[in-house]
């Protein structure tokens, strides 16, 4: 190992051969961070990273000693291997044993809640940060909500609208959906309660490029994250009805690349609106390809952790430890178009 390699930041990626994992590996390399590629299948690792010179480890998650070896040189690990109800605890526990920061890109509420509850004290003792749901679904809306709140210490309500012009799910998304049977939760009257059936539908104007969409109440981990650090008795999330129809249709194909980076043509806009009495504040961000966007988003967080720019041991929602507007602006305009504003 050279002196330069010894001083370089190293971030492990579990699930490195998956759709999102490959975007994350590529983004780490773009940032000058050395990835350690970890996956279950040795043949898949060889096919994905042959000739790259990357440090690769074929490890099954039940192999604790193998995970420990794979994380031995890293300063952080990003878990991209779903379903996270089956993987998050094993990888987070290994991260804490290794004394490295843990981030994942889950979309399951139950996994986010379990990770926050189970690993807060161990992470504090180890002096590392544990950040579940640092992806498009979850942490993105949490940081937008935190940015929208600004100097407010409470709000009457927080609404999140996720606008997609379509959703071509990956195989991993399909497997996660099949595994995730827990009731979806919303925050109502200050309590986390099951999503009402049938879910609420309404119209939402997203502006360009999506325009007006029918949206359906469908909460993701942002409900769990926001409720942990923002005092708001009402937290509700809505997703474009067209995206709900796509994800529920088994015939919807996987995403197809539309450029040399591998990004699909999918477009998204996420808007968070916080209300307090007659005052309204909002944050809106739009971009392309929810899976591809997750890579710079989680890598920006990981980079800040390994560089020591954020020091908050324990398990936290991202909005509780990062300067939200600053992190989001670091992704603009290359990855998102961001607007934070007072509406009334």
Tell me the pLDDT tens digit for each residue of 123-179: 999 999 999 999 999 999 999 999 999 999 999 999 999 999 999 999 999 988 888
Q: What is the pLDDT of residues 299-323, one digit of tens each?
A: 999 999 999 999 999 999 999 999 9
Quick one: pLDDT at residue 177? 86
Quick one: pLDDT at residue 7? 55
**1 band by pLDDT with thresholds 50, 70 and 90:** very low
Cα 114 from Cα 253, distance rounded (Å):
31
Please state the domain extents for the chain. 3-135+295-321, 139-289+324-342
Cα 66 from Cα 168, distance rounded (Å):
34
What is the greatest pairwise CA distance in the chain?
60
Q: What is 3-135+295-321's CATH number?
A: 3.40.50.720
pTM, full prediction: 0.96
Buried b (16+ CB within 10 A) or exposed e, 222-254: bbbbbbbbbebeebbbbbbebbbebbeeeebee
If you average pLDDT over residues 174-194, what whole number do you get? 93
| Residue for token pair 């937008």 | 144
Asked if the 139-289+324-342 domain carries CATH number 3.30.360, the reply is yes
**Which residues, other chains included, contact 323 with Cβ-Cβ below 8 Å and sequence gap of 6+?**
none
């Amino acid at each position: 190992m050279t002196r330069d390699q010894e001083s370089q930041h190293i971030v492990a990626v579990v699930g490195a051969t998956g759709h999102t994992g490959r975007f994350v590996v590529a983004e780490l390399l773009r940032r000058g961070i050395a990835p350690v590629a970890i996956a279950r299948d040795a043949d898949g690792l060889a096919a994905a990273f042959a000739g790259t010179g990357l440090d690769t480890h074929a490890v099954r998650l039940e192999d604790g000693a193998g995970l420990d070896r794979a994380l031995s040189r890293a300063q952080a690990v990003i878990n991209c291997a779903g379903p996270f109800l089956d993987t998050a605890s094993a990888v987070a526990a290994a991260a804490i044993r290794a004394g490295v920061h843990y981030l994942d890109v889950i979309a399951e509420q139950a996994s986010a809640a379990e990770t926050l509850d189970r690993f807060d004290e161990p992470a504090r003792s180890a002096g590392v940060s544990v950040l579940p749901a640092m992806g498009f679904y979850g942490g993105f809306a949490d940081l937008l909500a935190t940015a929208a709140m600004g100097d407010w210490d409470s709000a009457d309500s927080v609404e999140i609208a996720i606008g997609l012009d379509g959703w071509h799910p990956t195989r991993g998304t399909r497997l996660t959906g099949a595994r995730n049977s827990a009731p979806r939760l919303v925050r109502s009257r200050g309590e986390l309660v099951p999503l009402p059936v049938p879910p609420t539908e309404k119209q939402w104007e997203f502006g360009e490029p999506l325009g007006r969409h029918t949206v359906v109440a469908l909460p993701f981990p942002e409900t769990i994250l926001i409720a942990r650090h923002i005092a708001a008795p009402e937290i509700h999330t809505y997703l474009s009805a067209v995206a709900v129809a796509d994800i529920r249709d088994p015939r919807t194909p996987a995403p197809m690349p539309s450029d040399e980076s591998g990004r699909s043509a999918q477009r998204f806009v996420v808007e968070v609106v916080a209300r307090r009495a007659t005052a309204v504040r909002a944050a809106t961000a739009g971009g392309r390809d929810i899976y591809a966007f997750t890579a710079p988003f989680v890598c920006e967080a990981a980079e800040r952790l390994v560089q020591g720019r954020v020091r908050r041991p324990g398990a936290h929602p991202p909005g509780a430890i990062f300067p939200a507007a600053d992190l989001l602006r670091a992704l603009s305009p290359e990855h998102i178009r961001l607007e934070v504003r007072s509406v009334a």
